[in-house]
Amino acid sequence: MTGRARIAAAVAALGAVTGTAQALASSSPFFESPSRNIGCVILDGTARCDILTRSWKPPARPSKCPHIVDFGQGLMVSVTGPARFVCAGDTSMDPQAPILGYGHTLSRGGLSCSSATTGMTCRSTRTGHGFFISRQGYRLF
């Protein structure tokens, strides 16, 4: 393979890996950060992102979150409510999910998630409530 062919193949592969929000809009509701450390889903009026590796700890488990499920593995926001920690027995991580490339935003049903090298930000476009999640930290707003 010539140098020019290698560059063309690398550019094509990069485009396939990073994808675009447009391509994601018609596919699965699941998507992941390019590092595959953050997996998200926008479905049924909720945006949720779970994280595999993090250097922070979630707050104490609330009494309303049963001990038979996980707590704090991610954050979520609904179209109409505030952001909160996940209390669930499932995950939004899907190794087959498409990548939302850095610098891209996916919007569905009044919710949007933006991928950046610093982490993932999801928000309700109606209320402004949302969250930021990364390996280093999180923020609810």
pTM score: 0.82
Q: Identify whether 12 is part of a domain.
A: no
* Structural domain harbouring 136: 20-140
Question: What is the total count of domains within the chain?
Answer: 1
Q: Identify whether 114 is part of a domain.
A: yes
Q: Identify whether 6 is part of a domain.
A: no
Q: Identify whether 1 is part of a domain.
A: no
Please tell me the distance from the alpha carbon of residue 54 to that of residue 5, in angstroms, as a whole number.
39
Q: Identify whether 136 is part of a domain.
A: yes
- In degrees and rounded to multiples of 5, residue 67 shows phi and psi of -70, -10
Q: Identify whether 4 is part of a domain.
A: no
Q: Identify whether 14 is part of a domain.
A: no
What is the pLDDT confidence band of residue 28, given thresholds at 50, 70 and 90?
confident
Q: Identify whether 120 is part of a domain.
A: yes
What is the tens place of the pLDDT at every residue in 64-120?
999 999 999 999 999 999 999 999 999 999 999 999 999 999 999 999 999 999 999
Closest by CA position to 132, among listed 43, 70, 47, 63: 47
pLDDT at site 80: 97
DSSP H stretches of helix in the chain: 3-18, 21-25
